[in-house]
């Protein structure tokens, strides 16, 4: 019977994997993920106005501001966008005509007119054809203020060191009395709040794959009456086990492929930007990965990742058991599609609560729900990462999820045995309750 279990499992897997749709879907997934990671490079590849540096023409009537401003603009640009950045090109205005006419109609040209001012030291006009991007304005404004400080410093005969002492920010030493909490972890909550929903998205997607795969297979075998031939040769228990096994192997395989596409995306980005795998990442996910590695969470990852994966696998099993049982009692594909809706709602509740966990910090309701099977795989690690529950709570969620799987196997199998050979929806619930009362 064990050989037949492996045979049925392999047949189910082949039926899912050896299809052109599986290959096509994975090609699209791979391209999509690699594309998202390299969206900047893709956009840059096709070119556009953003590729040209913004030309800043300076009409300097003071005779001393141009060189300082030029250096400050380049410094600020590199400070914000990185060492290789060349977003601005600063040039002196040497044309004969009016500067207004020179700038007019040119979206990539700005002009600074700098004059002496008795009260404010410098009088600066920034001229552009249209609106100025907020970040550009902030950077140029910083560069102008720095220029003013340098010129002013030279005029009042105060050293730069003294100026820095005066204008430099006060360094605040943080002291947190709870020894388990570190200051560098403070922003993790905010990071995880925005990024965690994206990280758990694959789990969401894989669960949908799993439910649909098992439901479609059981339904197909049942509606074609192939089930009668199969069940006359292998027990319902073996058949059920083969569906659960193949479904879970499939999602783990698909999950593994998603990780490969993720890594491939990183490698391609690394190659394109010639940066270190993580330091070069300026996307939200990349930034989060970097921050996670810098925080104390990194030391906890050695057990957080395995425990989260374990909880996810146990939850995959629970969803597959539920999908198998529900598919067995339906008599056609449409019925199963309708029964999928509550499963999707359960998934969405978990997803929504994971997002809301940071907003409702310390909410008892969310904490209790983090122990509830089917939801816990999403909610429990989310709450742990943002520090709202401890490792013991995660372990408790795992224990409850295992118990839930056991109960689903114990009672679900009784329903499955009756359901797969039942072709009538008449008195369905009565039949199922009767099945539950039967001895295993």
Partner 1 sequence: MLKVEHVTKYYGEFKAVDDLSFTVKEGEIFGLLGVNGAGKTTTFRMIMGLLEPTEGKITLDNKKIDYSVTDKIGFLTEERSLLTKLTVYDQCVFYGTLKGMSKKQIEERLDTLLEKFSITEYKHKKIKELSKGNQQKIQFITAILNEPKLLILDEPFSGLDPFNIELFKKEILDLSKKGSMIIFSSHRMEHVELFCKKIVVLLHGKSVLAGDLKDIKEEYQKKNILIQGDFSLDEIKKVKGVINVTQGQDYIVKIENGDVVPEVFKKLRDANITKFVVEEASLNEIFIEKVGEAYEK
Length of the chain: 440
165 or 430: whose CB is closer to partner 1? 430
Residue placing its CB nearer to partner 1 in the complex, 71 or 220 = 220
Closest approach, Cβ 212 to partner 1, in A, equals 15
Smallest gap from Cβ 408 to partner 1, in A, equals 24
Tell me which residues in 206-235 interact with partner 1 (CB under 8 A).
220-221, 224-235
Residues 397-436 that bind partner 1 (CB under 8 A): 421, 427, 430, 434
The yes or no reply on residue 1 touching partner 1 (CB under 8 A) is yes
Closer CB to partner 1, residue 15 or residue 55?
A: 15
H/E/C letters for each residue in the chain? CHHHHHHHHHHHHHHHHCCHHHHHHHHHHHHHHHHHHCHHHHHHHHCCHHHCCEEEEEEECCCCHHHHHHHHHHHHHHHHHCCCCCCEEEEECCCCCCHHHHHCCCCCEEEEEEEEECCCEEEEEEEECCCCCHHHHHHHHHHHHHHHHHHHHHHHCCCHHHHHHHHCCCCCCCCCCCCCCCHHHCCHHHHHHHHHHHHCHHHHHHHHHHHHHHHHHHHHHHHCCHHHHHHCCCCHHHHHHHHHHHHHHHHHHHHHHHHHHHHHHHHHHHHHHCCCCCCCCCCHHHHHHHHHHHCCHHHHHHHHHHHHHHHHHHHHHHHHHHHHHHHHHCCCHHHHHHHHHHHHHHHHHHHHHHHHCCCCCCCHHHHHHCCCCCCHHHHHHHHHHCCCCCHHHHHHHHHHHHHHHHHHHHHHHHHHHHHCCCCCCCCHHHHHHHHHHCCC
* Minimum CB–partner distance for residue 233 and partner 1 (Å): 4
Residue 242 vs 370, nearer CB to partner 1? 242
- Kindly tell me which of 7 and 352 has the beta carbon lying closer to partner 1: 7
Q: How many residues bind partner 1 (CB under 8 A)?
A: 24
Cβ proximity to partner 1, 15 vs 367, nearer residue? 15
Shortest Cβ 11–partner 1 spacing (Å): 6
CB nearer to partner 1: pick between 8 and 413: 8
Closest distance to partner 1 from the beta carbon of 316 (Å): 25
Nearer to partner 1, 367 or 431 (CB): 431
What's the min distance (Å) between Cβ of 417 and partner 1?
10
Site for partner 1 in 172-201 (CB under 8 A): none
Nearer to partner 1, 134 or 424 (CB): 424
- String of contacts with partner 1 for each residue 233-262, x by CB under 8 A: xxx---------------------------
Q: Measured from the CB of residue 220, what is the shortest distance to partner 1 in angstroms? A: 7
**Least Å from the CB of residue 252 to partner 1:** 24
How far is residue 113 from each of residues 107, 235, 296, measured CA to CA in Å? 18, 87, 50
Site for partner 1 in 346-365 (CB under 8 A): none
Stretch that binds partner 1, among 6-14, 279-287, 295-303, 316-324 (CB under 8 A): 6-14
Candidates 15, 78, 182, 367: give the one binding partner 1 (CB under 8 A): 15
Could you tell me how far CA 198 lies from the centroid of its own chain? 3
**Strand 88-92, strand 121-128: pairing:** unpaired
Residue 308 sits at the vertex; the CA angle it makes with 307 and 314, to the nearest 5 degrees, is 90
**CB 297 → partner 1: shortest distance, Å?**
47
Residues 64-103 that bind partner 1 (CB under 8 A): none
Query: What is the smallest separation between the CB atom of 420 and partner 1, expressed in angstroms?
Result: 10
Q: What separation in angstroms does the CA of 205 have from each of 200, 213, 413?
A: 9, 12, 26
Asked whether position 305 contacts partner 1 by CB under 8 A, the answer is: no
Identify which range of 3-11, 64-72, 177-185, 303-311 contacts partner 1 by CB under 8 A: 3-11
CB nearer to partner 1: give 100 or 434: 434
- Sheet strand arrangement including 121-128: 88-92, 54-60, 109-117, 121-128
Least Å distance, CB 338 to partner 1, is 23
Contact set with partner 1 (CB under 8 A): 1, 4, 7-8, 11, 15, 220-221, 224-235, 421, 427, 430, 434
């Amino acid at each position: 019977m064990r050989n037949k279990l492996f045979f049925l499992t392999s047949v189910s897997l082949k039926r899912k994997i050896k299809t052109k749709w599986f290959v096509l879907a994975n090609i699209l997934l791979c391209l999509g993920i690699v594309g998202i990671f390299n969206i900047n490079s893709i956009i840059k590849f096709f070119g556009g106005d953003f590729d040209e540096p913004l030309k800043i023409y300076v009409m300097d009537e003071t005779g001393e501001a141009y060189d300082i401003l030029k250096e400050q603009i380049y410094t600020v640009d590199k400070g914000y966008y990185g060492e290789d950045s060349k977003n601005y090109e600063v040039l002196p205005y040497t044309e004969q005509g009016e500067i207004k006419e020179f700038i007019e109609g040119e979206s990539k040209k700005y002009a600074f007119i700098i004059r002496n001012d008795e009260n404010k030291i410098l009088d600066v006009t920034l001229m552009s054809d249209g609106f100025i991007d907020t970040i550009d304005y902030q950077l140029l404004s910083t560069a102008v203020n720095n220029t003013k400080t340098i010129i002013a410093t030279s005029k009042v005969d105060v050293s730069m060191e003294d100026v820095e002492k005066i204008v430099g920010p006060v360094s605040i030493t943080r002291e947190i009395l709870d020894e388990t909490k570190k200051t560098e972890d403070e922003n993790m909550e905010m990071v995880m709040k925005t990024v965690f929903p994206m990280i758990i998205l694959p789990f969401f997607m894989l669960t949908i794959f799993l439910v649909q795969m098992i439901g479609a297979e059981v339904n197909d075998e049942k509606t074609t009456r192939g089930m009668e031939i199969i069940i006359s040769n292998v027990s319902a228990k073996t058949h059920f086990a083969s569906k659960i096994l193949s479904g879970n192997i499939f999602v783990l395989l698909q999950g593994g492929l998603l990780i490969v596409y993720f890594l491939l995306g990183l490698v391609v980005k690394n190659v394109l930007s010639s940066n270190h795998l993580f330091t070069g990442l300026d996307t939200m996910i990349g930034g989060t990965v970097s921050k996670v590695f810098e925080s104390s969470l990194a030391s906890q990852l050695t057990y957080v990742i395995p425990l989260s994966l374990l909880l996810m696998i146990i939850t995959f099993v629970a969803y597959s058991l539920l999908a198998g049982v529900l598919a067995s009692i339906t008599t056609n594909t449409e019925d199963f599609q309708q029964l999928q809706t509550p499963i999707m709602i359960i998934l969405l509740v978990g997803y929504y609560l994971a997002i809301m966990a940071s907003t409702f910090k310390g909410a008892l309701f969310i904490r209790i729900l983090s122990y509830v099977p089917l939801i816990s795989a999403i909610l429990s690690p989310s709450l742990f990462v943002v520090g709202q529950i401890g490792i013991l709570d995660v372990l408790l969620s795992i224990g409850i999820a295992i118990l839930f799987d056991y109960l689903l196997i114990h009672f679900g199998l009784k329903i499955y045995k009756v359901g797969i050979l039942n072709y009538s929806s008449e008195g369905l619930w009565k039949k199922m309750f009767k099945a539950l009362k039967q001895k295993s």
